[in-house]
Amino acid sequence: MLKDFVKMETFLTVARERSFSKASAKLGISQPAVTQQIKYIEAYLEAKIIDRKKNGIRLTPEGEELYKVVTQLEKAILVLEKDVLKIIKKEMTFRLAASYTIGSYVIPGECLNSISESIGNDVVLNIDMTEKIITGLKERKFDVGLIESPLFDDSLIYREWFDDELVIFSNTPLPKTVNTEELYEYKWVCREEGSHTRKLIGEVFEELGVSCKSFNVLSEVSNTTAALQSVKRAKVDPSEPTVSVISKHAIADEVARGELFESRIYGFTMSRKFYIVYTKENKNNVFIDNVVNYIISGKC
């Protein structure tokens, strides 16, 4: 039974995620498949190892004992895997792809160097649109993608990374919070029609009862950098500030230096999730695991 570590990995993931559905997403297999593997283990051991509860799962005493044993096995396998890689001395260039906001503002250059050191191989970063990253992963042009648009594909595994916050910003001082009526007083630099960011912002404003059609729109731009530069170069006008919506990470340095100003809608947070994505065929790839775990750990 212990030779079949796939089922043991499923058990560990369910135990750590405290959820069959979250384990399913992390492993890249269906929830019925997760359930079936757990039932197989229970039948083999002739003991119940997991109790399902309304707020998650709980390990039974037998499950707790199994968890201790399998955790030790997992550590041993990881050590052996590293030893095998040393023997192989595999040389490769790790191909990381990131959407514009993440690649330009979230992943610093030194992070690539530290990832390279952690896996003992070179790392190259490609910055592109999420759609092209998804296609590139499926065509094996990239090893891992970092995306801000949830374009889901059944052949890929998606790991939630962290929550990003979108803020209103300007080169003119703004109040820390604004009400919806004040949004009509600004000059706007908007994202292009059809973009994920435009769609997200539109959904937020629609929920708040704000009509974007009534905005004073100066221009539409295709990416975060264009929005940032358009606002930075706009005329400073306290009576009618030029604004746009952007990830708070993209302007953190300028806000800290007092060059740009950010504001939030009163009583509301505009947020989205960033994802780490890779192919299901790479779910047990040690290089992929090392990079994904390194990024999720927040060391970058």
Residue 2 has a pLDDT of: 56
Residue 77 has a pLDDT of: 78
CATH number of the domain at 93-163+273-296, out of 3.40.190.10, 1.10.10.10, 3.40.190.290, 3.40.50.300? 3.40.190.10
- Render pLDDT for 194-223 as a digit per residue (tens, 0 to 9): 788 888 898 899 999 998 889 999 999 988
Does domain 5-88 fall under CATH 1.10.10.10? My reply is: yes
Task: Please say whether the beta carbons of 144 and 92 come within 8 A.
Answer: no
Q: How many CB atoms neighbour CB 145 within 10 A?
A: 26
Q: What pTM, to 2 d.p., does this model score?
A: 0.69
Q: Alpha-carbon torsion 204, 207, 209, 211, what sign?
A: positive
Residues sharing a CB contact under 8 Å with residue 98, sequence separation 6 or more, in sequence order:
106, 107, 125, 126, 127, 133, 145, 146, 147
Extents of the domains making up the chain = 5-88, 93-163+273-296, 165-270
Name the stretches of the chain with pLDDT < 50: none
Residue 82 has a pLDDT of: 64
Q: Tell me how far apart the 2 most distant CA atoms of the chain are, in Å.
A: 74
Whether 93-163+273-296 and 165-270 share one fold: the answer is yes
Residue 67 has a pLDDT of: 92
CATH number of the domain at 165-270, out of 3.30.10.20, 2.60.15.10, 3.40.190.10, 3.40.50.300? 3.40.190.10
Residue 49 has a pLDDT of: 92
Residue 88 has a pLDDT of: 52
